[in-house]
């Protein structure tokens, strides 16, 4: 694209923006109009690109994330300058932490007014620079097509992530030549996807020599769509697998080699496997502090093969013995080829596998039903999964219900799980579920939310009702900020400072749902659970909100206290595995 291309047709910048979105194949934009972005909404009115009018810009950003995770495509959100743009900051940061490809388009005050503290002026490019993969400030209509094409390319290639395109109002209003770039070639941006052959050979050598290896699998394997190669590698070698919070479903939970989720609320088998491994084969994962616990005591005897498409992640938290930069599909595929050859014998790990299977059997992730007749939140979530099945898409908020969902929903298929893993954003669930349902209209989409999270962004259910987006939201109402309350119980002697939401009094969640155009249901007794889930599943022409009034003091176990060693994992209050009896 060139500013001097005289053969290119003339368009306003606003028309060029909409033409660019059509050219790049965008199907939907989640947004709200306002002064600076208003010119774009006129041509958008007649575009093939669907615009969904949300109730808050944060909802637009999380909906774009949900759409992107559920479809594998780039999600798009749009807002005006100033507060409209700053309301996108949280979902942009969320997408950055979880490597979700979205393009955020914001209006900016006219170029001559930048820096004058004009009405609704905010330096959104500067504000979001640390939390975007790249950002553009566009001040001329001729630059819009190139910026949009580049933004989609950057967001979806290499390590996916959010890209901001900030366009001044005068650029949207002025006329210029529109020319769609025939190819994208960005100086300095050439993501490495093919791994170095020598490094992969060295990784295969370490795998062959190992006796206690573990496949430590992160969200990068889902982003790389490498679940087929992962299954082939795991079954070829027999190596046990742990899947992080972001990777749930990439390897079936029902597979005997799956030890579950590691980390602060991981399974005993997954945590024990990592702690006693002699080799970690870390694929598309970043040694997050929620997984490692006290880093200096994490997997103390293990050598590390660390493969990631982002070289910045290699050895960032744990030094890699064999660093591999590359796409997970390529890396795992080449490992499989090498380990099938005579040059690299398969590891002898029979005793290791047997000990982990035994550990998994003796310390299953389970829960007790309350003895006072109230609902168990774990049972509710488990029944939603059992009655809906693994084909559905499940979004969650952040907190106890997120961890219960990670443990008790049926994780058999990749890409079905949407949650805020890195940033831990309360309020993610409802708009993310909305975005997922827009992307997957023929699939059931459940949101598993807490009463605290739900009250942050539930207004997007109005959007769902008006736009024909029939999501199903389960509000796990324990009348408190449950995860914080659990920490206050365990570490602050039960001093419940400002965690009681009093949601036993207000709001009335079913009535709130009905006021927003949804169907509202409630379950308060164990005998109600299956009936309301069945009712919710039978409604496909409107959003449904089901309030489950659950026991207030249910806790999420296992747990490793923040900053503690994974060796100090607890399976219940004051109860720990007897590691001295383990022969791993």
408 noted as active-site residue:
no
Contact 86, 239 (CB under 8 A): no
- At 439, the pLDDT band (50, 70, 90 cuts) reads very high
What integer pLDDT is reported at residue 2 of this predicted model? Answer: 40
Percent of the chain residues past pLDDT 70, beyond the cut: 98
Q: Is the pLDDT of residue 118 over 80?
A: yes
Catalytic-residue membership of 575: no
Residues 6+ apart with CB under 8 A from 245: 261, 263, 290, 406, 419, 421
119 is catalytic: yes
* Residue-by-residue DSSP string for 225-283: T-HHHHHHHHHHH---EEE-GGGTTSS-TTSTTB----STT--HHHHHHHHH-SEEEEE
Domains 10-177 and 197-362 share a fold: yes
Q: Which of 483, 516, 548, 559 is catalytic?
A: 483
Portion of the chain with pLDDT greater than 90, in percent: 94
CB neighbours of residue 350 within 10 Å: 10
Q: What is the pLDDT of residue 1?
A: 40
CATH topology of domain 197-362: Rossmann fold (3.40.50)
Residue of 27, 120, 386, 524 marked active site: 120
- So what CATH class is 377-549? alpha beta
Exposed, middle or buried by CB within 10 Å (0-12, 13-18, 19+), for 364?
Answer: exposed
Span 351-389, pLDDT tens digits = 999 999 999 999 999 999 999 999 999 999 999 999 999
Confidence of residue 4 (pLDDT cuts 50, 70, 90): very low
Average pLDDT over the chain, rounded to whole?
96
* Residue bearing tokens 């969902």: 405
Q: What CATH number was assigned to the domain covering residues 10-177?
A: 3.40.50.970
Residue 3 has a pLDDT of 44
Active site residue 57: yes
Total-model pTM:
0.97
pLDDT band per the 50, 70, 90 thresholds, residue 581:
low
Provide CB contacts within 8 A for 203, sequence distance 6+: 281, 305, 307, 322, 324, 335
- How many angstroms separate the CA atoms of 95 and 68, rounded? 10
pLDDT at site 271: 96
Q: Which of 10, 119, 301, 348 is catalytic?
A: 119
Q: What is the pLDDT of residues 192-218, one digit of tens each?
A: 999 999 999 999 999 999 999 999 999
Catalytic annotation, pick one of 1, 30, 57, 199: 57
CB-based contact 260:558 (threshold 8 Å): no
**Domain residue limits, the chain:** 10-177, 197-362, 377-549
Among 58, 60, 161, 70, smallest CA distance to 395 is for 70
| Banded model confidence at residue 336, pLDDT cuts 50, 70, 90 | very high
State both tokens at 43.
């041509």
Q: What is the pLDDT of residues 78-98, one digit of tens each?
A: 999 999 999 999 999 999 999
* Catalytically annotated residue among 169, 223, 437, 472: 169
E-assigned strand segments in 16-172: 28-31, 50-53, 75-79, 102-108, 134-138, 163-168
Rounded Cα–Cα distance for residues 44 and 51 (Å): 8
Q: 452 pairs with which residues across the strands?
A: none
Tell which residue, 506, 537, 514, 509, has the closest CA to residue 524. 509
Beta bridge partners of 10: 177
Is 58 noted as a catalytic residue in this protein? Answer: no
């Amino acid at each position: 694209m060139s500013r001097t291309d005289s053969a290119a047709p003339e368009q306003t910048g606003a028309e060029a923006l909409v033409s660019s979105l059509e050219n790049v194949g965008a199907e939907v934009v989640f947004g709200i109009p306002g002064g600076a972005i208003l010119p774009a909404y006129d041509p958008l009115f007649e575009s093939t690109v669907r615009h969904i009018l949300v109730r808050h810009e944060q909802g637009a950003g999380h909906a774009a994330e949900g759409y992107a995770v559920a479809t594998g495509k780039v999600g798009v959100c749009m807002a005006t300058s100033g507060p409209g743009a700053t309301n996108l900051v949280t979902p942009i940061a969320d997408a950055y932490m979880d490597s979700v490809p979205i393009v955020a388009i914001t209006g900016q005050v006219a170029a001559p007014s930048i820096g004058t503290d004009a009405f609704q002026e905010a330096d959104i490019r500067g504000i979001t620079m640390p939390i975007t993969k790249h950002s553009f400030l566009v001040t001329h209509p001729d630059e819009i097509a190139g910026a949009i094409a580049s933004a989609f390319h950057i967001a979806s290639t290499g390590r996916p992530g959010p890209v901001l395109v900030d366009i001044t109002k005068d650029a949207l209003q002025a006329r210029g030549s529109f020319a769609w770039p025939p190819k994208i070639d960005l100086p300095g941006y050439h993501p490495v996807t093919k791994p170095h052959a020598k490094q992969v050979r060295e990784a295969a050598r370490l795998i062959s020599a190992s006796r206690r290896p573990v496949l430590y699998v992160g969200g990068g394997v889902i982003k790389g769509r490498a679940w087929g190669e992962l299954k082939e590698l795991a079954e070829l070698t027999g190596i046990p697998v742990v899947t992080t919070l972001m990777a749930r479903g990439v390897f079936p939970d029902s597979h005997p080699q799956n030890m579950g989720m590691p980390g602060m609320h991981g399974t005993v088998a997954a945590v024990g496997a990592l702690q006693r491994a002699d080799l970690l084969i870390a694929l598309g994962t970043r040694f997050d502090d929620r997984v490692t616990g006290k880093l200096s005591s994490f997997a103390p005897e293990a050598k590390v093969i660390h493969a990631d498409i982002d070289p910045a992640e290699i050895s960032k938290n744990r030094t890699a013995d064999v660093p591999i930069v590359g796409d997970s599909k390529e890396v795992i595929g080449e490992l499989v080829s090498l380990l099938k050859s005579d040059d690299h014998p398969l590891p002898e790990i029979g005793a290791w596998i047997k000990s982990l299977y035994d550990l998994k059997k003796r310390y299953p992730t389970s829960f007790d039903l309350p003895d006072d007749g109230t609902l168990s939140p774990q049972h509710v979530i488990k029944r939603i999964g059992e009655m809906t099945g693994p084909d559905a898409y499940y979004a969650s908020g952040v907190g106890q219900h997120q961890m219960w969902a990670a443990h008790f929903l049926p994780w058999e298929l990749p890409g079905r799980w949407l949650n805020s893993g890195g940033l831990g954003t309360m309020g993610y669930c409802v708009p993310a579920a909305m975005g997922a349902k827009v992307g997957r209209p023929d699939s059931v989409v459940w949101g598993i939310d807490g009463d605290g999270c739900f009250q942050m962004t539930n207004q997007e259910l109005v959007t769902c009702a008006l736009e024909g987006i029939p999501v199903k939201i389960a509000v796990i109402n324990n009348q408190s900020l449950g995860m914080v309350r659990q920490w206050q119980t365990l570490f602050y002697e039960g001093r419940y400072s400002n965690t009681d939401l009093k949601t036993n009094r207000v709001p009335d969640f079913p009535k709130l749902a009905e006021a927003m155009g949804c169907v509202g249901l409630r379950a308060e007794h164990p005998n109600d659970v299956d009936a309301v889930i069945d009712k919710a599943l039978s409604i496909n022409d409107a959003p449904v909100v089901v309030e489950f009034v659950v026991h207030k003091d249910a806790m999420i176990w296992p747990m490793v206290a923040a900053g503690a060693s994974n060796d100090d994992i607890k399976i219940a209050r004051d109860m720990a595995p007897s590691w001295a009896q383990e022969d791993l």
